Structure 1
């Protein structure tokens, strides 16, 4: 198994103004979505819906905001890279529009939040689709926060809640005309990306430690890799 060098995001900004005015949406598809991503909350999304905002807040608390960057394994499959590429481009487009408008209320969260999320999601894509091309991303807690906040903004827009109507109108035309898709499909793709970015199993730490200290074959490393792949598949991530 080949692991590419870790990619480190830019330093945390002083403030990216996460706006949390949105309603509390529920995700009722893929009951296993993110069900194993954080130590201590494995049963939160068992087989029913999940309160996405509450779950995101729990993940942010579990990520130890002031701790070191967390290593995240990234799948190399075509489907997962397609998801990341699509979502990253759309988030970047919204961020650019929000920056020009200088009015975060029309885009639900500040431009910088969209831009941070776009960068981290875009980094999940690859053009080398070999299964052994597993990569490691060093993910700061603030970057994962930004992706979750943008997710809740997109859900609010899709549900036409409050101030989300302008964003929904912008994205509906853009997604249909440029990407031949819709907002709900975009949210599905983002949730698959979040399943990867939020994965915090002990197996991930075992695998990172093994690769850093002893990159040769190991029974423990193979078992850890199997656990990571199984978690991705349960969340609907192609790998």
Structure 2
């Protein structure tokens, strides 16, 4: 599949939604929860806030955030694919006291009013969007002045340095020898082979910072996680 193609990406996540959470736990040895915790720490969610989880997938981050904005707050989870939202809604139904809403929509053009949210998070979504620059501009539009955003995703190591070259080599090995063979056990090898292809077009850490500043964020910083395998873009509107 072609990285960034909206229909192909949507179909991919429709296919993997039932196994997505289990595969995330297996492939990261549960560490994805720690990386997402770093995103939440930057966001500093609190009672009464209105937050949005763009490309929310099966809703694990939205559920965490919803527990932190009570009382008086609200969390909206938005995703382009219907199947992950169905999983998210089923999970949320087990905690009906959480202030959550789900919406199917395009992260590049949400149709939501400007300056509607105190904070935003996007985990493993930016890399899959057709236009990361447009996504960051839409993210900035949705935030009130002073709002925070956390964008978590795979990092694209810079092979120009010894450390970067080693990180890039490990990443290729991990994706080819661990991720795809594991996904094959679930009959999803093609969907997870897409990961490596999507990274080839993903902006580098420095480029993400430049795109965020061009989108109007007054503060943009990229933090390397997991030895350079993951990255957290920390933004302040």
TM-score (norm. length: structure 2): 0.30
Where relative contact order (Cα < 8 A, 6+ residues apart) is larger, the structure is 1
**Per residue, is there more strand in 1 or in 2?**
2
TM-score (norm. length: structure 1): 0.30
